[in-house]
Amino acid sequence: MRLIFLGAPGSGKGTQAVYLAERHGIPQISTGDILRKAVQDGSELGRKAQSIMQSGGLVPDDIIIELVRERLVQPDAGNGFILDGFPRTIAQAESLDAMLGEPKAIEMVLFFDVSEAEIVKRLTSRRTCSQCGKNYNVLSDPPPATGICDQCGGKIIQREDDTEVTVRKRLQVYEEKTAPLKSFYSAQNKLHLLHAEQAVEHVRSALDALVARL
């Protein structure tokens, strides 16, 4: 199963990718998670990415493409994967096609459709474990009152790019650079729309029904 989860920031890609990856025993490959880990580790990649991520911009294509190329040759990606947050530009999508080649091509692209008002609400109320990355939401899935992650014991924080000003910048960048990927994958007959504004469980069922076609 080789899938892409496409959608605006906060559309629920990560929430559903964690579920589906576990269910099918394939990795969730989130470029955002890889970049945040690099920032935390203080690596060269992290130093290059940090200020761009904080401001809501996109990390340059060449850096991201190389990072994904290295990740996809890891043994756990041999039986399939979910790409969550990649590709985000036409150049990234074209490189991915070239990287995979026809026999291993992407089978399905799931587009998470959510309104802007709902996205702003979800992201400004999201809280995240600084250690394992587990997401909570003060409105729909509250974190423990202790502020400590129930999965790993890490400290729960608000991501620096989840303030309203940065969320609106991320949405603008999404419209400009990432939304054109809908036409790109529609032309390949791979795009499937998910009504992702419903409750988490309903989105999950719709997703299960779509991937059952593979």
Does 83 help bind ligand AP5 (rule: CB under 6 A)? no
Q: Which range of residues in 37-45, 103-111, 181-189, 199-207 is near ligand AP5 by CB under 6 A? A: 199-207
Residue closer to ligand AP5 (CB basis): 2 or 88 = 88
* 122 is known as an active-site residue: no
Q: Are 16 and 34 in contact (CB under 8 A)?
A: no
Residue closer to ligand AP5 (CB basis): 103 or 129 = 129
Q: How many CA atoms lie within 13 A of 197 on its CB side?
A: 9
- The Cα 66–Cα 89 span in angstroms is 14
Residue tagged active-site, from 13, 122, 134, 177: 13
Among 81, 86, 184, 185, binds ligand AP5 (CB under 6 A): 86
Residue given tokens 């990795």 in the structure block? 27
Residue closer to ligand AP5 (CB basis): 26 or 65 = 65
- The Cα 169–Cα 167 span in angstroms is 5
- The Cα 122–Cα 13 span in angstroms is 12
For residues 24 to 63, the per-residue mask of contacts with ligand AP5, x marking binding by CB under 6 A and - elsewhere, is ------xxx--x----------------xx--xxxx----
* 23 is known as an active-site residue: no
For residues 40, 43, 47, 53, the Cα torsion angle rounded to the nearest 10 degrees is -50
What is the maximal distance between C-alpha atoms in the chain?
A: 50
Q: List contacts with ligand AP5 (CB under 6 A).
A: 7, 9-15, 30-32, 35, 52-53, 56-59, 64, 85-86, 88, 92, 122-123, 126, 135, 137, 140-141, 161, 170, 199-200, 203
